[in-house]
Amino acid sequence: MKRKTLIALLAATSMVFGVCSPAFASDIQVESATPVESENQASKVVVAVDDDSFTIGPWGSDSAVRDWTEDIIWAHLCYRPFIGAMLEKDELQMNAAKSVTKVDDSTYDVELFDNIVDNQGNPIKASDVVYSYDKLAELGFVSEISLYYDSAEATGDYTLTIKLKDSSEGAIEAVLCNCSIASESWYENASENDINSNPATTGAYSVTEMVAGSGVTMEAKDDYWKTEDRADSEFQNVKEIELRCITEASARSIALENGEIDLAEISSDEIGRFEDNDDYSVTQYLNGMSQYLIFNCSEGNVCSDENVRKGVAYAFDAYNMSLSAGECVMSHDVAPNLGPDYVDSWDDEEYFTYDLDKAKEYLAEAGYDESNPLELSFLNSSQAPQQPYVALQSMLAEANIVLNIDSQDRAARQAIQNDPTAWDMCEFSNEVADFTTGFWNDLFGGESNQCFVQDDEMQSLLKAAIADRSEENMTAFHEYIKDKAYIVGVYTEVRSIVGTAGIESVPLPKLNAELNAITFADDYTSVED
């Protein structure tokens, strides 16, 4: 009885919001504000981040703090101002590199600025850049460097040659933009404490205070080595940036309301307190992480039957699943619509629209009905909100599908996900780093793909799309995956960054806020002023 009531409620909500959903999606501004170098420097901005495990040395593992700080405290050869920016189209911004010249598909000559200096006075030469790349490759913190970087050689004091292991599209951009450059002599002689508390930074900001797990304060360098033609990551629109670690979502909202911080990412269930409130400015952006459902297509699994996959795909309404996640953009492909090669017309097409009759037809063809219900083991992360999957479970029940949710912590889930005998269906998310084809390749490329499917036609269509991202090739692969339903896209979350009223715009060109390029109102005062 209770289950029926819940289903009825979900169906009613779905009908009400289903009518409104296009309006919700169209209201979302995914275009980021263009970073502008400001003439008047704001004094300080205090920003809360949801991460307390981080390092600020030149090379370290992925973390939210690193995402928000690495480009502004460490110089890189180039800066990628938006997803999919390409060197050959002259879309990369030069940072430490004065110029980059292609010699052949896997060899590039780089000329450096001859006045680069870190905040402890160490000059940066080509040998330091070579050292930085080799060190990062050895440490293995950045997967793009491990995948694409082969070697580098200094050909002069300020010139070097970079060789790639793999010349696929996007490789040189990933290599040029993902390695922090530091002085070899400083790094070799610095203690662990110096590297992580008082680093000799080469970017536009230096670190003035670092408390492990608590926060980091950075200050714009008055004597920064580059004075003109600065990349977006070299802007100094604010003198001091303090990042404060507040991991608990409600604690970030309270800190913002209590006047302890100027800016924070706020969760969808708390954003209502700040919207339509003149004391705050809200910037919404489309999170690059697309949520999708994977079917285990390995031989012998129940989901290797196409009718089962389609039966499930038509038995749930993605919009209903997204209700608890706040504002979302519904998927029309497994990838989010952020890559430059994403074909916009896909968003106008139907994509597994909820249709219970159709779902039951597919399931009947697979031999499942009321007397013989389909039972699926569903793997998900216990650290993610469970409401979308409880909603999924309720909707599937209506189509006689019993979904047994198996929630595991992040680490255990990753291990179990690689075992094709451990689950039938699972949820996952992935971000688009440059191209939609790259996203697809992560999911479907090779034999050990995420859905354990062996499909030569799929592989050849994928290779064709990667080799030539024409609309025809892209659509061919998109349609094929839609037809086979190996993986079904669900939604991409919209996230919100909330600032105090004086914060006019927060550029988010690569889905991480560019704190150094925030635009402030003339009357802006920080909570710390």
Partner 1 sequence: MVRYVVKRLLIMIPTLLAVGIIMFTLMNFVPGDPAQLALGSGVHSEAEIEAKRVALGLDRPFVVRLGEYVTKVFTRFDFGKSLIDGTEIKWELMKRFPHTAKIAIFSIILTVVVGLPLGIYTAVHANSLGDRVSLLVTLLFDCMPSFWTALILVLLFSLKLKLLPSSGAKSLVYFILPTIANSLGGLAGFTRQVRASMLEVVKSDYVTTARSKGLSERDVIYGHALPNALIPILTVIGMRFGSMLGGATIIEVVFSIPGIGQYLVNSINNRDYNACTGGIIFIAFTFALIMLLTDLLYAFADPRIKAQYVSSSKKKVK
**Interface with partner 1 (CB under 8 A), residue from 214, 353, 454, 470:** 214
**Interface with partner 1 (CB under 8 A), residue from 37, 138, 349, 370:** 138
Q: How far is CA 381 from the centre of its chain?
A: 18
- Residue 156 touching partner 1 (CB under 8 A): no
- Residue 450 touching partner 1 (CB under 8 A): yes
Q: How far is CA 107 from the centre of its chain?
A: 28
CA distance 470 to 421: 37
**Interface with partner 1 (CB under 8 A), residue from 22, 140, 156, 272:** 140
Q: Are 407 and 360 in contact (CB under 8 A)?
A: no
Alpha helices in 59-178 (DSSP H): 64-73, 126-139, 143-148, 171-177
- Residue 258 touching partner 1 (CB under 8 A): yes
474 exposure class (CB count in 10 Å sphere: 0-12, 13-18, 19+): buried
Name beta bridge partners: 75. Answer: 181
Single-letter amino acid, residue 216: V
CB 422 to partner 1: min, Å:
10
Instruction: Give the other-Cβ count within 10 Å of 478's Cβ.
Output: 24
* Residues 281-320 as x/- pattern, contact with partner 1 by CB under 8 A: --------x-------------------------------
Alpha helices in 162-201 (DSSP H): 171-177, 184-189, 192-197
Instruction: Render the burial of 504-517: b for 16+ CB within 10 Å, e for the rest.
Output: bbbbbbbbbbbbbb
Contact segment (CB under 8 A) with partner 1 among 83-91, 139-147, 276-284, 351-359 equals 139-147
CB 202 to partner 1: min, Å:
20
- Residue 77 touching partner 1 (CB under 8 A): no
Identify the DSSP state of 482. Answer: H
DSSP H or E run through 259: none
**Interface with partner 1 (CB under 8 A), residue from 29, 53, 345, 470:** 53
- Residue 196 touching partner 1 (CB under 8 A): yes
Q: Are 374 and 368 in contact (CB under 8 A)?
A: yes
**Interface with partner 1 (CB under 8 A), residue from 6, 7, 28, 212:** 212
- Residue 61 touching partner 1 (CB under 8 A): yes
CB 243 to partner 1: min, Å:
12
- Residue 257 touching partner 1 (CB under 8 A): yes
Rank residues 244 and 332 by Cβ distance to partner 1 and give the closer one: 244
**What share of residues in the chain are helix, strand, coil (percent, to 5)?**
35, 25, 40
CB 246 to partner 1: min, Å:
4
Binding site for partner 1 (CB under 8 A): 52-55, 59-63, 138-141, 143, 146-147, 192-193, 196, 211-215, 244-248, 250-251, 254-255, 257-260, 289, 383, 408-412, 414-416, 428-431, 442-443, 445-446, 448, 450
